[in-house]
Structure 1
Amino acid sequence: MREAEVNQYITAAANGDNSAREKLINHHKPYIINTVGHVCKRFITWSDEESSLGLLAFDRAINTYDRHANKSFLNYVYLLIKRELIDYFRRENKETHLPLEVKSDNRTEFVTMYDVSKSMDSYQQHVQQEELVEEILELSEVLRQFNIKFEELEACSPKHRKTKANLTTIANDFIQKPELVDSFLKKKRFPVTRFIELSGHRIKTIERHKKYIVALVVVRMHPEWRQLSAYMQVTFGNEGKS
């Protein structure tokens, strides 16, 4: 869904087209939950209350976004989600590492811990780039065909450097086998048995990390997603010592 198409859906939804609103929400769900997770600094699922607040903020963004303002829609969504979550934690009086808003000399300032600020800045530099966000949404649509949700990747990603390197090798080996790639694309599932026969990789490793391997294969099959590979490395790496 390109920018022009997004703007058309936003206009239609703001004018009462519920079908357009639903399409916008479904298309941007990976972005919404990923944004909520980064703001909260923990893994978030759709059963968490914070994800519901993210959806509400997105819905409000559809109604209030000014297409003529000097701000992209997704940047605007990010700001609304962040504000909604800050208000939520303040209301609930929960302990959190989110920025605390204070009043000083008639100005509103945000007091943050350095590492949180640095993390947020790094996240904004990456996720708020339109090209990267669009690549993430496109990947999400492809993964949905394999019954994989984009937000699952963080939970199923390898925690150790050696494991990650091994899975990268497995994905690269798989792509070198046209017969298996063709089956993969047609049947929308990873041909584990045949791949093991041809490659000799361990079935236990593949079964344990199959969703992540599928994501790696899909990304490598789309060289036009120039930023996504690096983004996955940073966001889902969480590398520990091997």
Structure 2
Amino acid sequence: MEQDPLLMTNREKFIEENKDFIYKITCNVCKRKLQWQNDDELSIALIAFNKACDIYNQNKGAFLPYAKVIIKNALIDYFRKSKNTPHLAFSTEEEAFDYIDSRNSLIEFEKQQENLRRAEEISYFSMELSRYKLTLDDLVEASPSHLDTRNTILNIAFRCSKEESILKYIIEKKKLPIKEIMLFTSMSRKFLEKWRKYILVLILILSSDDYPYIRSYFNIKVGENHE
């Protein structure tokens, strides 16, 4: 069973055990035999393998195929930047497409990682909303239809998200301090009561660094004047 580099206790031992794998991949890319003592390509490959250990997510498949992609891409980037390296050519059309497939696989992997983080963020936010007896459906239903109203609420929420006493009340009571926000923003009770769910949700989003994807979804530009 393949060892998980994220859980291994000895990174150097893990790399040493996989030096044959690294060597074969590197020689295949370079189309010649290499020597550990003399060829920079093997050093580049070792660095790339170590990087793969750092950024690999075990939930996304086997490690070695992923490391192979990282090594190949690192070597080709090295060839492109090196002035002393002769022109690099694929020996067959199949290998050219293999490189393209490898690059596309890495891009797809990164997209999957981003989608996973986005899903985790939404799940975490849903859990937080449940503590306030709210759901994402409530947010949709409570959303004002007019842009001017949304911008007004956004600025109220932004100001409140920076006010420690208001945040403390929300965290402890799990609801908005309507009276305090009336004094703080000069908005009417009727307006604040009508949009309290939407205001509360926006304050939760704006007062935390845990929701970058949700902010992006709402197109929230913190600190800008929307009036």
Relative CO higher for 1 or 2, CA cutoff 8 Å, sep ≥ 6? Answer: 1
Q: Which has the higher strand share?
A: 1
TM range (shorter): 0.3 to 0.5
TM, length-normalised to structure 2: 0.45
- Which has the larger Rg? 2
After TM superposition, the score normalised by the length of structure 1 is 0.42
